[in-house]
Amino acid sequence: MEVIFWWTIFPYLCGTILVVATFYRFIYQRKNWTAPSTEIFDRKWLRMGSVIFHYGIIFAFIGHIMGMLIPIQVYHAIGVDDHTYHIFAIAGGSLPGIMVVFGLIVILIRKYSLPRVRVHTTFGDYFTIVLLLVVSGIGLYMTLVYNLTVVAYEYRVSIGPWFRSLFTFNPVPQLMLGVPTLFKVHVILAFVLFASIPFTKLVHMFSFPVRYPTRAPQQYRARDGYNKNNR
């Protein structure tokens, strides 16, 4: 039962919450479909944390596509043996992983330690950042430490085909049976994060700022009276 729950029911439950709640929010709560910036209160730490995080997560995302969505047979067909693949996965995944974790730590410290930023930080923001930090921290540990000190675990014959089987609605939960616990925890927490997206500012990842370049400029005015300064 445990295998069926964690590797069939739970992922579909999280996926359903993600899709249904995201559509609901897009249709009925479009006004708060943004991630308002706190750049006006501090630019330096935001630039450092957010830019490093976003570049890291983009490359980590590409790494996951290569590891989870491209079958091992394709690599063999193009002459990439398993040893070479894992060397590239560890080398290519470590820097993005470090950037993601470092960026998140800077963002978290900034939100907590700068009073004017902290008052604009919600519980949802802390929940998202801490969960992202735990998921990414475990991910980085797997890529950098577990693979180099225990074994370069071959997730392309277990986690990868399982993940793809979810999208073909022909789930094979047995594939996750022999997966090391740490990898399982990473995947389960990642699905918790997916299900939380519609309830947090992470929805901004679905926004394509096509109208951004043509939008009207935002005006900021001093609270203590605009006119006084222009006399």
Looking at the Cβ atoms of 71 and 114, the one nearer to ligand HEM is 71
User: Closest separation between CB of residue 110 and ligand HEM, Å?
Assistant: 19
Collapsing DSSP to helix, strand or coil, 124 comes out as helix
User: Closest separation between CB of residue 123 and ligand HEM, Å?
Assistant: 19
Element (H, E) at 109: helix 82-113
Cβ atoms of residues 24 and 194 within 8 Å: no
User: Closest separation between CB of residue 109 and ligand HEM, Å?
Assistant: 19
Structure tokens at 196: 């939380």
Question: If you count DSSP H runs as helices and E runs as strands, how many of each does the chain have, helices first?
Answer: 11, 0
Looking at the Cβ atoms of 96 and 171, the one nearer to ligand HEM is 96
- End-to-end Cα spacing for the chain: 75
Structure tokens at 149: 């000190």
Looking at the Cβ atoms of 114 and 189, the one nearer to ligand HEM is 189
Q: What is the distance between the alpha carbons of residues 193 and 66, in angstroms, rounded to a whole number?
A: 21
Element (H, E) at 186: helix 181-196
User: Closest separation between CB of residue 126 and ligand HEM, Å?
Assistant: 16
Residues found near ligand HEM in the complex (CB under 6 A): 60, 63-64, 67-68, 89-90, 93, 96-97, 100, 132, 135-136, 139-140, 142-143, 147, 155, 159, 163, 183, 186-187, 190, 193
Q: What is the CB neighbour count within 10 angstroms for residue 72?
A: 17
Q: What is the CB neighbour count within 10 angstroms for residue 153?
A: 19
Looking at the Cβ atoms of 52 and 183, the one nearer to ligand HEM is 183
Looking at the Cβ atoms of 114 and 157, the one nearer to ligand HEM is 157
User: Closest separation between CB of residue 18 and ligand HEM, Å?
Assistant: 11
